[in-house]
Amino acid sequence: MTRTVPPQAGQTPPNADFTPTPAGQSGSGDMREFLRSNLRQSGIYVAFVAIVALFAVLTDGTLLSAGNVTNLVLQYSYILVLAIGMVIVIIAGHIDLSVGSVVALTGAVSAVLVIDRGLPWWVGILAAIAVGLLVGAWHGFWVAYVGIPAFIVTLAGMLLFRGLTLQVLDNVSLSPFPAEYRDVASGFLNGLLGGYGYDAFTLLIGGIAVAGYAVSGWRSRAARIRYGQPVESMALFIAKVVLVGAVVMAFAWQLANARGLPIVLIILGVLAIAYGLITKKTVFGRQVYAIGGNLSAATLSGVKVKAVNFWIFVNMGFLSAVAGVIYSSRSNGAQPAAGEMFELDAIAAAFIGGAAVTGGVGTVVGAMVGGLIMAVMSNGMSLLGVDQSLQSVVKGLVLLLAVAFDVYNKRRAGAAR
């Protein structure tokens, strides 16, 4: 009996009918396959740019004004936080319908402790996060260890935690929070490095983000070349980096000319980077994709499916609590009806951002771009005075088209085989 030894990193498997792509080049067939395999994700970015350009024209530039760009970040930050957790849940083949109620409950707990009981603002934040973790553990237990589908568990949680919110608040609203708590979602870092009419620190952060994107893209491209995989040409790679850099720096310039760098944007950036690394570079992240892609194969490969599913929901509870703190900070209080429909916005962001209905596919960045698409559409239509009912119709159609695009891709891939 012979044993096949896997090739070392960077080596071509013996007897393989395979020719590595020369560095910086790609054959026409390989390039077509490369573009086809990246159509789902690249299409999202193209759609985002097109939607921003459309509403910028329709609103005579108001959409991209310094004040409105800042308001976009402040008003939709909690949905983007929820989208990060939701896309991980969806990648694993689950769904969470309770996040809106958890946002309300965590904000209510924080409000009772800080506003009603007079405790320090940071105690309210820690308590909210603790409640979110407990809620996540509750869901994770029923889904992972009892085996009840996540749809049913989180539907029950949506009703359960909405009722608990009413109990905690005694069916009344609480406000206002102290200034330190409000700064979580409404505060800015301005003037740290000076600047003449603009905030230099915001521009520095934007420059660091662009440099990080360029270095990450270069390393990823070099790795693909090392393993003989198709890559875009050097000219296309440089053009992509320049385009992304221009967009990021334009965004940073608008913020710098308004009120500076929003604190909530720093929170979002840290979460996006952290979860991007977790999903792409850690064993846990690979196991999440494995479970969503092929549960039976993941189980046979030794993945501890129950433990992974449990921690997926604990993580969703944590991010729901973060979103609850941000939302209550932004609204400067806690209301019994807070968080209604948030779960649908988060789910829509994940699917529009490229997540697959059947699981196994999706990215954190894609989910955030999906959330930004929803935010820009809502904000743009509001600036144009579009009726709220029509806004819901448009957003529903966009979600339907995004899922239809996913189904189309799957059918085309199946036919190609």
pLDDT tens readout for residues 65-115: 888 888 888 889 999 999 999 999 999 999 999 999 999 999 999 999 999
Higher pLDDT, residue 221 or 166: 166
Q: What is the predicted pLDDT for the residue at 195?
A: 61
The CATH number of residue 164's host domain is 1.10.3470
Regarding whether 113 and 89 lie in a shared domain, the answer is yes
Regarding whether 192 and 233 lie in a shared domain, the answer is yes
**Residue 226: band (very low, low, confident or very high) from pLDDT cuts 50, 70, 90:** confident
Higher pLDDT, residue 399 or 321: 321
pLDDT higher than 80, residue 44: no
189's enclosing H/E stretch is: strand 188-189
Regarding whether 226 and 92 lie in a shared domain, the answer is no
Q: How far, in whole angstroms, is CA 353 from its chain's centroid? A: 8
38 in a domain, yes or no? no
Range of the domain at 240: 188-261
Domain end call among 261, 290, 324: 261
Regarding whether 200 and 175 lie in a shared domain, the answer is no
Helices (H) and strands (E) counted in the chain, each on its own, are 16, 2
Least reliable range by pLDDT among 58-62, 123-127, 288-292, 404-408: 404-408
Regarding whether 317 and 233 lie in a shared domain, the answer is no
Higher pLDDT, residue 166 or 245: 166
- Whose CA is closest to 33, among 318, 415, 413, 414? 413
213 in a domain, yes or no? yes
Q: What is the predicted pLDDT for the residue at 1?
A: 45
273 in a domain, yes or no? no
Q: What is the predicted pLDDT for the residue at 414?
A: 60
| pTM exceeds 0.95 for this model | no
Regarding whether 204 and 156 lie in a shared domain, the answer is no
Least reliable range by pLDDT among 98-102, 230-234, 360-364: 230-234
Domain end call among 211, 226, 261: 261
416 in a domain, yes or no? no
Q: How far apart are CA 292 and CA 93, in angstroms?
A: 5
Regarding whether 295 and 174 lie in a shared domain, the answer is yes
Regarding whether 222 and 320 lie in a shared domain, the answer is no
One-letter-per-residue 3-state SS of the chain: CCCCCCCCCCCCCCCCCCCCCCCCCCCHHHHHHHHHHCHHHHHHHHHHHHHHHHHHHHCCCHHHCHHHHHHHHHHHHHHHHHHHHHHHHHHCCCCCCCHHHHHHHHHHHHHHHHHHCCCCHHHHHHHHHHHHHHHHHHHHHHHHHHCCCHHHHHHHHHHHHHHHHHHHHCCCCECCCCHHHHHHHHCEECCCCCCCCCCHHHHHHHHHHHHHHHHHHHHHHHHHHHCCCCCCCHHHHHHHHHHHHHHHHHHHHHHHCCCCEEHHHHHHHHHHHHHHHHHHHCHHHHHHHHHHHCHHHHHHCCCCHHHHHHHHHHHHHHHHHHHHHHHHHHHCCECCCCCCCHHHHHHHHHHHCCCCCCCCCCCHHHHHHHHHHHHHHHHHHHHCCCCHHHHHHHHHHHHHHHHHHHHHHHHHHHHHC
What size, in residues, is the chain?
A: 417
Percentage of residues in the chain having pLDDT higher than 90: 44
277 in a domain, yes or no? no
Q: What is the predicted pLDDT for the residue at 6?
A: 45
Contact 51, 377 (CB under 8 A): yes
Q: What is the predicted pLDDT for the residue at 12?
A: 40
**Residue 416: band (very low, low, confident or very high) from pLDDT cuts 50, 70, 90:** low
Contact 364, 84 (CB under 8 A): yes
411 in a domain, yes or no? no
How many structural domains is the chain composed of? 2
Q: How far apart are CA 188 and CA 195, in angstroms?
A: 15
pLDDT higher than 60, residue 2: no
pLDDT higher than 50, residue 169: yes
Contact 335, 173 (CB under 8 A): yes
Regarding whether 235 and 218 lie in a shared domain, the answer is yes
Regarding whether 314 and 399 lie in a shared domain, the answer is yes
Regarding whether 289 and 387 lie in a shared domain, the answer is yes
Q: What is the predicted pLDDT for the residue at 158?
A: 95
Contact 336, 165 (CB under 8 A): yes
Q: What is the predicted pLDDT for the residue at 149?
A: 95
Could you tell me whether strands 261-262 and 188-189 are parallel, antiparallel, or unpaired per DSSP bridges? antiparallel
Contact 250, 211 (CB under 8 A): no
- Average pLDDT of the segment spanning 273-284: 92
Regarding whether 300 and 395 lie in a shared domain, the answer is yes
28 in a domain, yes or no? no
Q: What is the predicted pLDDT for the residue at 90?
A: 95
- Average pLDDT of the segment spanning 18-26: 43
Strand partners, 185: none
pLDDT higher than 80, residue 197: no
276 in a domain, yes or no? no
pLDDT higher than 60, residue 350: yes
Q: What is the predicted pLDDT for the residue at 33?
A: 52
Average pLDDT value over all residues in the chain = 84
* 3-state SS, residue 262: strand
pLDDT higher than 80, residue 359: yes
pLDDT higher than 80, residue 207: yes
Percentage of residues in the chain having pLDDT higher than 70: 86
Q: What is the predicted pLDDT for the residue at 162?
A: 95
